[in-house]
Structure 1
Amino acid sequence: MAASENERVGTVETRGIEPVPDAERRGRANQMFWTWFAANISILGLPLGAALVSFRGLNIWQAAVVAILGSFGSFALVGALSIAGKRGGAPALTLSRAVFGVRGNAGPTLVTWLSRLGWETINTTTAAFALLALLDAAFGIRRNTVLTVVCLLVFIGCTLLISGLGHATIMWINRWASYLFGLLNLVVIAFLATTVDWDKVFHAQVGPVSSMVVGVGMIAAGTGIGWANTGADYARYLPRRIPGGRLVAASAFGAGIPLVVLISLGSLLAAGEPSLASASDPVSAINTMLPSWMSIPYLIAAFGGLLLSNHLSVYSAGLTMITLGIRVRRTLAVGLDVVVTFAGGIYFILIAKDFYGPFITFLTLLAVPINAWVGVFAVDLILRRSYDGAALMDVGRSSRYWFRGGIAWAAMIAWAAAIVVGLLFTEASTSATDVWFSGPLAHSWIGSNGLGWVVTLLLAAAVYAVLRRFDGTVRDEASGQAPQQQVLPAPAAQELS
């Protein structure tokens, strides 16, 4: 397959999850900068910043430090894990088969797919709010049920067009749309800064250090951690010769710059408008702070920023769905994904009473297995030299990654143990009286200070690093030897990609 067929802007990418050959690798590390810049110029950063002040009691300087640590740090991790994509040429969860086994990988893959669906639903819902507000501001058209459904369909249609075309088109749009919507955001940000109650900002009390620790975890979970298991999806077309450090730097700065600006602004705005952090419609909450002439560019920027984030999520979700075993082409997988997202958007807008409560709760719960996966995958990436492309696509007993019964037990035990321990320190709730889940250690020092995610990641990494030394099938695979299970006379089950 010629490289031009999959890397030509405006044409449909025909490649699925199969590894990209070296002859078809193109691009530079700065592609990752634009990928993550585009994904993070949406207005969702504003409520995150507002939460640092309203819910955590931080002042603006503390919130800025938290924003820097949480966003730059979490996306540096995204960049580090994307090295696997450059090395193996396949999506992150496809490469994960080499770590968990072709069957054991189903658990992490399912969690990743659910995570992507959650982000897409949030993006779609927020974008529909933006489009409804835009129609009201520009044409005086009031919101109703039919118009709400139409706005959802418009956003989903735009997402489907971009995600369906695939990698080359996404990379091109990320760069040039970032200029356009980034400029619009700067105009809006400059005006919003003039509405800040600076007296309250400069006289705000210093919050406790423990709240800063919680804030870093909250920002990391709400930004980079949610993308950590998809970074390789966008690096798999890059040449192997690109230094991994450049991917880390490009990812951290690409996401960190817009996030720090937006989160810091959200913190400033919360000084005069504390309700922003808990607004059921964050788009309208910010829109009320603007004069009518500023509303239109603001709402266009909001819609565009959310679209840039959503098409990345849908693209990855389609690849993840195929890895999960849904035997369809990538374009159809994208279509199925947006159908589910549409249903979620209908629920959030027309049925659910609270918007960000379920959002934060959802992130809190899914962050546990995602962090556990990150810990295991990161250790494997450090120790692994290469991936076997043919074995990644072979889900039968003949696969090099069959291990024992299709499962790499060292990875699975480490992942499961870290999830159990992580949940012990986790509490997921929409309010003090609406607690969805509370682990027995959620109110311990670790749990109360938001360090459960750190424990989860480090425990998964440590347990896997130890157990893999005693797993003979993992040692055989790492040394390049054929695992013992490969001698079994069973045909390989090749996967449609």
Structure 2
Amino acid sequence: MSATELAGTAPADSNRVGAIETRGIEPVPPGERTGGPGQLFWVWFAANISILGLPLGATLVALRGMNIWQALIVAAIGSFGSFALVGLISVAGKWGGAPSMTLSRAVFGPRGNHGPTLISWLSRVGWETVNTTTAAYALLALLAIVFGVRSNPVLTVISLLVFVVLTLVVSGLGHATLVLVQKWATYVFGALNVLVGAFLVSRVDWDAVAHAPAAPLSVVIAGIGVIAAGTGIGWANAGADMARYQHRHVPGGRIVAAASVGAGVPLFLLIGLGGLLSAGDNSLASASDPVSAIQVMLPSWMAVPYLLAAFGGLLLSNNLSVYSAGLTMITLGVRARRVVAVGLDIVLTLAGGVYFMLIADDFYGPFITFISLLAVPITAWVAVFLVDMLFRRTYDPDGLMDTGRTGVYWAHGGFRWSAVLPWLAGIVVGLLFTTASTSATDVWFAGPLADSWMGSNGLGWVAAFVVAGGLYLLAAVFGTRRATPEPRPADELTGVRP
């Protein structure tokens, strides 16, 4: 079996609802790109109606001392703005018809791309484990309320299995099914979120909200970074994965708007609600389990729709993440069809969920610290990739799949050092300002500049973005960016309209 076959050579009708998508990471031919920005809107909306947005808003008010108006401004800029970056990378998916990390081969070289791709895959699997474990807790709580069944190891494993099987059904079938499910499930679980949110608003301490003092401007600026890092930055390396099926004549601005508005609206509402709930009460901001923290605010009759909404929102987010992780795994070099790669990803996520729920003493603190640390290399990759888009409108489809010495993106031993070195420099500088810890006494890593203003406000990833992007831009402007052979006519192969 050839490498192309393993990547997923697909018949023309492979992208159908209910059928297993057989296409892997190879570019989608222009004739099969029939999607529009409306599809992307619902995909990103669905992926961001998770309850994990509530603790983000709670953190802004309870731990950073903002008033509600500052928190809402931060939520708007951080969520809409960070997903605008996701939208920009999605435009590259329209240009090249391939997943983000596959397109990244043209930027870093087939071997140089292994580092960013591995980081991307680790991040995806990490957040999938968070989703899976949190959803299992929600399902266990639901079973306890409805049937009076107490949690035990067998029921815990069953809860994990239910969640990963539901994820596998949608992510395994692929793009067309994923797009349809994300749209219609959003109506159901979105309505449940509205119902629960309306009840939670009645629990807000409006007097505390009205009299909360404003935080300094520096805190607001840092808060924007926190929201961006916790929302769009984590999805940036998946931007092109869904956009590769977009019609080549869809304007790039509409793709950016679909991602920014689609994700920004639910995030803004959830983050804002989290901020309201935390005025005068910091229990949500400091809770290690957001499911339980919110559940205690509700009567038992309202806890049922809340837990259903929590489970469904996490499932919709996981569907997209697992789909993307399967493509990333193939790009990394796993010689398997897309549906098999998705299955392998699910198995790893299930194993992680079992370990953290039944064996480990603590889950959220150490694990979220680890995957949050990955924001530094991910942001450095985003910077390099976006700068590269300034100088590129086409990707050679054969070159993206040819990872050997004859490939047009081979460069120097498979590395495009003009991109790899700025990426590495961005990581090093970003880590100088970064602290990785689960508490004040449990510090895993602290950079020498971690006590600076940028470091203490968690903005190491911003330093990584500026340095990586700036160095790569200099390399391009001053001619050190290695020219690659021109691809075949782009209007025939990929569609180049911005």
Conservation of the 8 A alpha-carbon contact between 1:64 and 1:260: yes
Q: Whole-Å Cα distance in 2 between the matches of residues 3 and 385 of structure 1? A: 27
Report the equivalent of 1:294. 302
Tell me the SS of whatever aligns to 1:477: coil
| Match for residue 427 of structure 1 among 435, 440, 456 | 435
Aligned positions of 1:88-167 closer than 5 A: 88-167=96-175
Q: Match of 1:476, as an amino acid?
A: A
Q: Whole-Å Cα distance in 2 between the matches of residues 193 and 478 of structure 1? A: 58
RMSD: 1.6
Q: Match of 1:387, as an amino acid?
A: Y
Q: Whole-Å Cα distance in 2 between the matches of residues 113 and 191 of structure 1? A: 38
Tell me the SS of whatever aligns to 1:221: helix
Report the equivalent of 2:444. 436
* Greater mean alpha carbon deviation, residues 155-164 or residues 277-286: 277-286
Report the equivalent of 1:24. 32
CA deviations on 1:228-287 (whole Å, 9 max, x unpaired) are 010100000011111110011111110010001101111111124312122222111111
Normalising by structure 1, report the TM-score: 0.94
Q: Whole-Å Cα distance in 1 between the matches of residues 47 and 231 of structure 2? A: 10
CA deviations on 1:446-473 (whole Å, 9 max, x unpaired) are 222333222211211110112245666x
* Greater mean alpha carbon deviation, residues 320-329 or residues 356-365: 356-365
Tell me the SS of whatever aligns to 2:438: strand
Aligned positions of 1:285-364 closer than 5 A: 285-364=293-372
Report the equivalent of 1:183. 191
Conservation of the 8 A alpha-carbon contact between 1:374 and 1:457: yes
* Greater mean alpha carbon deviation, residues 111-120 or residues 357-366: 357-366
Q: Whole-Å Cα distance in 1 between the matches of residues 214 and 438 of structure 2? A: 26
Conservation of the 8 A alpha-carbon contact between 1:222 and 1:363: no
Deviation of 1:351 (Å): 3.4
Report the equivalent of 1:366. 374
Does 2:388 match 1:380? yes
Conservation of the 8 A alpha-carbon contact between 1:37 and 1:178: yes
| Match for residue 476 of structure 1 among 471, 483, 487 | 483
Q: Whole-Å Cα distance in 1 between the matches of residues 110 and 452 of structure 2? A: 37
Normalising by structure 2, report the TM-score: 0.94
Q: Match of 1:35, as an amino acid?
A: V
Tell me the SS of whatever aligns to 1:437: strand
Q: Which runs of 5+ in 2 are unaligned?
A: 1-8, 489-498
Report the equivalent of 1:85. 93
Deviation of 1:170 (Å): 0.3
Q: Whole-Å Cα distance in 2 between the matches of residues 2 and 17 of structure 1? A: 10
Tell me the SS of whatever aligns to 1:476: coil
* Greater mean alpha carbon deviation, residues 85-94 or residues 439-448: 439-448
Deviation of 1:196 (Å): 1.0
Distance 1:355 1:189, change over 3 A: farther
Report the equivalent of 1:446. 454
Q: Whole-Å Cα distance in 2 between the matches of residues 363 and 335 of structure 1? A: 22
Report the equivalent of 1:492. none
Tell me the SS of whatever aligns to 1:205: coil
Tell me the SS of whatever aligns to 1:6: coil
Q: Match of 2:242, as an amino acid?
A: Y
CA deviations on 1:365-415 (whole Å, 9 max, x unpaired) are 101000100010001112102100001101100000000000001000000
Q: Which runs of 5+ in 1 are unaligned?
A: 482-497
Tell me the SS of whatever aligns to 2:144: helix
Does 2:48 match 1:40? yes
Deviation of 1:213 (Å): 1.9
Does 2:255 match 1:278? no
Deviation of 1:58 (Å): 1.4
CA deviations on 1:64-94 (whole Å, 9 max, x unpaired) are 1111111000001100111010000000000
CA deviations on 1:317-362 (whole Å, 9 max, x unpaired) are 0000000000001011001101111122123322344444235412
Tell me the SS of whatever aligns to 2:374: helix
| Match for residue 390 of structure 1 among 398, 402, 413 | 398
Deviation of 1:206 (Å): 1.6
Q: Whole-Å Cα distance in 1 between the matches of residues 414 and 457 of structure 2? A: 38
Conservation of the 8 A alpha-carbon contact between 1:210 and 1:449: no
Report the equivalent of 2:216. 208
Report the equivalent of 1:490. none
Report the equivalent of 2:411. 403
Conservation of the 8 A alpha-carbon contact between 1:422 and 1:453: yes
Conservation of the 8 A alpha-carbon contact between 1:104 and 1:408: yes
Distance 1:205 1:355, change over 3 A: farther
| Match for residue 264 of structure 2 among 234, 256, 264 | 256
Q: Whole-Å Cα distance in 1 between the matches of residues 69 and 356 of structure 2? A: 34
Q: Whole-Å Cα distance in 2 between the matches of residues 64 and 352 of structure 1? A: 36
What is the identity percentage for the equivalent residue pairs of Structure 1 and Structure 2?
Answer: 66
Q: Match of 1:85, as an amino acid?
A: G
Report the equivalent of 2:496. none
Which ranges of 4 or more aligned residues in structure 1 deviate by more than 3 Å? Answer: 1-4, 351-356, 468-472, 478-481
Question: How many residue pairs were aligned?
Answer: 480
Deviation of 1:31 (Å): 1.2
Conservation of the 8 A alpha-carbon contact between 2:87 and 2:257: yes
Conservation of the 8 A alpha-carbon contact between 1:213 and 1:450: no
